[in-house]
Every structure is written in C-alpha cells, then in structure tokens.
Structure 1
Amino acid sequence: MRVRLLISGIFALICSCVQAEPQDPKFYAQRGMQAGHAYPGLANICDIFTPLKMAGSRPRQEGGANERRERASSRAAFGPMQVFDNLYFVGTSGVSSWALKTSEGLILIDALNNDDEAQRYIDAGLRTLGLDPADIRYLLITHGHGDHYGGQAYLVEKFKPRVVMSEQDWQELEKPKLEFSNPRWGQPPKRDMAVKDGDLLTLGDTRVQLYVTPGHTPGTLSLIFSVHDQGVEHKVALWGGTGLNFGTDRQRILAYSASAERFRLLAKEQGADIFMSNHPARDGARERLPMLKQRKPGEPHPFVVESMDVEGAFELLRDCSYAQALKLDTP
C-alpha cells in the first residue's frame, strides 16, 4: 500500500509537471535519449516505432555440443573480475551477478539463469577471485524473472544463504502460472525472506538500501549501496529491472515511469555516482569491464561517472517509458 501511494503521488507530480509540455511521444523519447546519452544500452526503451511485446518462452538455443561449448566459453571469458575494493562481478555477458563483500560475509545480487551457470560462473568465479562461496549469507534477487533467480537451487542447497526478495514478487512466484517462462531457467525459489520498500539489508559493516520500484515486475527491487575504489567511497544506484517486456499494459508502463523518477530522486539525494543494472549490455558493463582491466594507476574508474549522468539514466527510463505510454494513446 505504501509503495502504491508513493508511486501515485510521484505519477501525479509528473503529470502536473508535463501538462505544459507537448503530449507527443517523440518529444519525450528524444528528451530521454539526450539525458541518458552516457548509457546507450538503455536506448531501445526509447524506440517508440517498434510495438511493445509481451515476452514469452524462448526456445532452447540451437546448435551442437561444440557450439554450446563455444557460447559457454564466450560467457566465461567475460569474468570473473574484482570491480571495486568490495564488489565483484561473477556474471556472464548476458546477465549480471554481483558479490558485495562485507566484514561478515558476502551478499550476492542475483543468481543467473540456472544451476549450471551458478556453479560455473558464481561458485567457480568467487573461488577464482579468492573468495569463499560458503561465505554467501544473503542471495538478494532483484525481481522474479528466471534469469535472475534461476541458479538459486544450487546456491541454496550448497551454501545455505537466506533468499531475499520483495513481498510482491514472492507473491508473483507463488501464482499457479508465472508471467514468463523459459526452458533455460531453473526452478523458482521457495519463500524465504520478504522485504518491503525502504528496508535495509545489513551485514557486518555494509548496508544495502532496498526500494520497491514497480514496473518491470510488480515488486522489482532497486538498490543503493556503497563501494570503495582504493579506499575512496562511491555510491551505486542499481536499477533492478530494465526492459518493457510486458506488452501494452499502460498502467504498468506509467508505474515504471513513476518508479524511475522516484529512484532518480533517491539516487540524487544519496549522491550516487555509479549507475548499474543487472544486464551488462544495459549499464555499459560490457564496455567498462574491459576498460577496467586496462586501467593504469591514477586513471579514473570507468564505472564512476558524474552524478548528472546517473540522473540522466533515470531520466531516460522515466521519459522514454512515458513516451511509450503516450504512444498507446496516439493513433
């Protein structure tokens, strides 16, 4: 209820602010593109000329054993990697998994597509980086789609972390039929730890601020937390669910837009200077991780940007999703 009221209030504020603006989807799409120029991986949200579709089951990848091994090798070559003093990438080129190191263990953000990937990239990746996967205390799942929870069964059975998700998305996973399915995804987790908007996940010296940002799913969690680069603190604003892959549900698109605006304000208030999502193609991690490998002493960290660029990412998400809603009203 609290989240609905917050979103309704922000949506009303957006509506009051845009009344003087032309109610033209092209106007908002162009404005969003300009604001979010630092993150071109978000640009397809601004494509108002391609019809929005409901994502559904995708077929298994074709190809023989050699081709599958080559694809797996390509994904593995993307990581693992230490990105900040206390943050490690153990995902693939398609989906991110982040390990946040604390004084009392690890917080793992998302579990990839399935148990095989969890074993191959998370378990093995942490060991390669000198971390012990048995130290995973929390598995924080940003939203209830299988490319983010799919490897949880392996991790829970082997390492016994608490599984954390929003109450809204726990409820989504408990429905008789999931919104999306895919033969590559592992089984949904069993209900464990439910969190609500504004909660803190605390482990040792680390706090992760949790915000429910409805849109991509009803209970998508977006996160704000601190990282350090050679001892210097920076603030991450991690957007928990990016695509508009739920068809022409106008109210849900508007909720997405309002969530982006609200999280923009939270990120600004917290002084966030890093934008992240959970897909490397979206937040520029595909380009930034290789840049980090080539970084020389004294050079800036490729993930750290101006705060206005972080705001710009959320302005793109806000304006371009609003453009998609306006498009539904435009012949």
Structure 2
Amino acid sequence: MPTGGVRFLDNAWYFGTDHTGLVIVRTPDGLIMLDALTTPDDMRTQFLDQATAAGLDPGDIRYVFLGHHHVDHVGGANLIRDEYAPTAKFVMEQPDAAVIAAQRADLWERRHEYTEEEFRARLARLPGRIDIGIEAYPGHTVGMKRIRIGRRTTAVAMLAPGHTDGQMHVIVPVVHQGETHKLLVWSGNDNIEMAAQYAVSADFVQGLAGQEGADSFINTHAYQVPPTAISARSRPTRQRPTPC
C-alpha cells in the first residue's frame, strides 16, 4: 500500500495489504475503524505508522467494529485500546464475541504449554473486551443494531452469519466529491459448510443496504467482490463467491 494507505472516498481510507486490511472512516464525531488486522505489529506498521501521512490521529478513534472472530480481523484491536484510544467502544457480534472469550479462557488454562513470550503474543491478538454485542432478532439467525457514534453520526451493524456464526457487516456514512453517501463494509467471504445460511444472510444484508440507501461497498479482504453483486449477475443459479 502507498504511504498513508488508500483514500478511496473523501473521508474513507483502506490500510493493510491487498489481502487483509482495515477501513477508517472520518466522521464529524471522530474516527470509525472497521476490522483490526492480524497482529499488533501489523497494526503498528500498516496503520499506526501510516496514519499521520493520511492526516489521521489514532487517538480520535471512537468505535472499532470487528467483523468476525478470525485473527486476521481482530489481532491488532488490543493495541488500539491499550495505547491509543482507551475510551473507544469495541463492537462485535455476540456469537463471535463468545468465541473470543472462550479462546482467551482456553489460552489461560493452557498457559503452561507456552513460553511467557508465546503466551503474551497469543493473548495480545485476542480482544480483551467487547463493549457492544450484536444479537439476532428473536427466532432468527440475523439481526441489526443502530449505533450512535455521536450527535451527527449513526452506523448500522448487521449480524449476518455465513463466514462465521457471528459475521458482521456495517453501513457507515461517507462523503464522495463533497456529497453524502453510505458505505457498506463487508468482513470476509463465504464458508461452503454454511452455504445456505450465507445465502440467507447475503439476501438480508442486500435488502437492508437497499433500505438504508447504501450505494458503495468495500470488503476488508480487498481482493474480494460483493457477494450480492455476484448473486445478481448469476441469477437464477445464485452462485456464490469462491470460499476463502
């Protein structure tokens, strides 16, 4: 990535690599971070060391949305909370937040199996606290929650299982060429073992994105394309993206 990341909208940047990244959106109420890279070192070199060149202050981060529990989406979260934005709120889907909690508990129980350095490195990559959990609607597998970032900014977080049991996508307000738009940030793609649920979730997100007026899209795995776009092109067979 170029120094300062890739600014793809007036107030939105992509940092990371062409495989895994995070998205930063600057709002009137502070910065929103979506996903948190793979390790604290990645967070430092791929975002924190680049932030100044983009005109961004990590201390302005107000909310961090973690799209699912895989380490390449959460590994740098603790560094942000511990050293840069201690008051930031961390948002995750309830099913995957439970996975992270179980992983931390298991790591503590098996601490004797690792050197102190290995234990600390593994623990650092598992978020220590989730402040806001997104739950499914009663009797359903999907859900949605509006989150007030500040007086002038609201995000829409959607629980949409498929890649994991608690995959989450987020709609955030953005600006392009001076005009207000809404950006859908997608976190990870597909899981052949959950294909039926993935289809349900993709339809749910597509419908809600239309209702909310989302008109732009990015995946934090930058090489992947929108599943809803693929399904639209391939109807009636409704093919889905290649698993990753």
**TM-score per shorter chain, which class?**
0.7 to 0.9
Cα separation, 2, equivalents of 1:139 and 1:82: 19
Cα distance, 1:135 vs. partner? 0.7
* Residues 267 and 317 of structure 1, relative CA distance in 2, 3 Å threshold: farther
Give 2:137's aligned residue: none
CA contact 2:227–2:241 (8 Å) conserved in 1: no
Give 2:215's aligned residue: 273
Cα separation, 1, equivalents of 2:188 and 2:171: 14
Superposed CA RMSD: 2.9
Cα separation, 2, equivalents of 1:84 and 1:237: 13
Choose the corresponding residue for 2:125, options 187, 192, 195: 187
Choose the corresponding residue for 2:100, options 173, 177, 186: 173
Cα separation, 2, equivalents of 1:156 and 1:315: 39
* Residues 88 and 190 of structure 1, relative CA distance in 2, 3 Å threshold: same
Q: Where does 1:129-208 land on structure 2 (aligned, <5 Å)?
A: 129-159=54-84, 160=86, 161-176=88-103, 187-196=125-134, 197-204=143-150, 205-208=152-155
CA contact 1:95–1:147 (8 Å) conserved in 2: yes
Q: Deviations over 1:77-107 (max 9, x none)?
A: 4751322222122222221211111222111
Identity of aligned residues (%): 27
Which residues of structure 2 form unaligned runs of 5+? Answer: 108-117, 135-142
Higher strand share: 2
Asked if 1:264 corresponds to 2:211, the answer is no
Give 2:24's aligned residue: 99
Secondary structure at 2:82's aligned position in 1?
helix
Cα separation, 1, equivalents of 2:38 and 2:131: 21
User: TM-score normalized by structure 2?
Assistant: 0.78
Task: Identify which of structures 1 and 2 has the higher relative contact order when contacts are C-alpha pairs closer than 8 Å and 6+ apart.
Answer: 1
Secondary structure at 2:80's aligned position in 1?
helix
* Residues 225 and 93 of structure 1, relative CA distance in 2, 3 Å threshold: same
Cα separation, 1, equivalents of 2:31 and 2:58: 8
Give 2:15's aligned residue: 90
Cα distance, 1:230 vs. partner? 2.1
* Residues 256 and 137 of structure 1, relative CA distance in 2, 3 Å threshold: same
Cα separation, 2, equivalents of 1:113 and 1:84: 24
CA contact 2:26–2:32 (8 Å) conserved in 1: yes
Q: Which has the larger radius of gyration?
A: 1
Asked if 1:240 corresponds to 2:240, the answer is no
Give 2:113's aligned residue: none
CA contact 1:254–1:321 (8 Å) conserved in 2: no
Cα distance, 1:234 vs. partner? 2.0
Cα separation, 2, equivalents of 1:98 and 1:320: 27
Q: Where does 1:1-331 land on structure 2 (aligned, <5 Å)?
A: 76-77=1-2, 80-159=5-84, 160=86, 161-176=88-103, 187-196=125-134, 197-204=143-150, 205-244=152-191, 249=193, 252-283=194-225, 311-313=228-230, 315=232, 319-321=238-240
Q: Deviations over 1:286-318 (max 9, x none)?
A: xxxxxxxxxxxxxxxxxxxxxxx9952454699
Higher helix share: 1
Q: Deviations over 1:180-237 (max 9, x none)?
A: xxx9975210232133232122223221101100111111111122211121122222
* Residues 240 and 142 of structure 1, relative CA distance in 2, 3 Å threshold: same
Cα separation, 1, equivalents of 2:145 and 2:234: 23
Cα separation, 1, equivalents of 2:221 and 2:202: 17
Residue-pair matches, total: 215
Give 1:54's aligned residue: none
CA contact 2:4–2:52 (8 Å) conserved in 1: no
Q: Deviations over 1:118-144 (max 9, x none)?
A: 111211222111111111111111111
CA contact 2:190–2:242 (8 Å) conserved in 1: no
